[in-house]
Amino acid sequence: MKRILTTPIKDEDLKDINIGDIIYLTGTIVTCRDVAHRRLIEEKIKLPVDLNGLAIFHAGPIVKDHGNDKYEMISIGPTTSMRMEKFEKEFIKETGVKLIVGKGGMGKNTEEGCRENKALHLVYPAGNAVYAADKVEYIKEVHWTDLGMPESLWVCEVKEFGPLIVSIDTEGNNIFEQNKVEFNRKKDEQYERIIKDVRFIK
């Protein structure tokens, strides 16, 4: 059964979601990358969008301007989330955002932010930027256009946006870090096996 979260998202909506689960999003998602994070956290500039209960997307979209505040999403691929790692814990606390969507994993800072503030980090599969744009029903508004198209805050209304893979859950569990541990365990096993085989051949 497809798990769909609808904004605004509350803490109780996330309590039974675990790393590795796949969810979809309906409602509001805002593109938000490095510079927007830096403005809020380092420069203490208040965001022009209330993110409480909403989702952000680490993404630099391509948008067509039709004039009269009418925009069309052409492509919206994920940005590597680790670029925002040093800001994310404080960003989650400051904004009340519930879903952070991007590419690849994040680290301890984000784990703590998700655990302390009941949020999720989600991975959107890379290479599907045009498909993702098709899930954007319309662009509600845009802010901080002085930053350029990729770094602007594009406030999008989406329907069943996904698939989104849970990489960090509300307990701070991190699927990427767990997979690293398992990979290293298997790697060590194979090293031992190779060493034994070499000794046997000699």
- Catalytically active residues are 37
Distance in angstroms (rounded) separating the CA atoms of residues 24 and 4: 5
Encode 62-101: b = buried (16+ Cβ within 10 Å), e = exposed.
ebeeeeeeebebeebbbbebbbbbbbbbebbebbbbbbbb
Distance in angstroms (rounded) separating the CA atoms of residues 53 and 84: 19
181 — phi, psi (to 5°)?
-60, -45
Q: Kindly state the tokens that stand for 79.
A: 């940005």
Q: Positive or negative, the Cα torsion across 102, 105, 107, 113?
A: positive
Residue type for position 132 = A
Distance in angstroms (rounded) separating the CA atoms of residues 150 and 143: 12
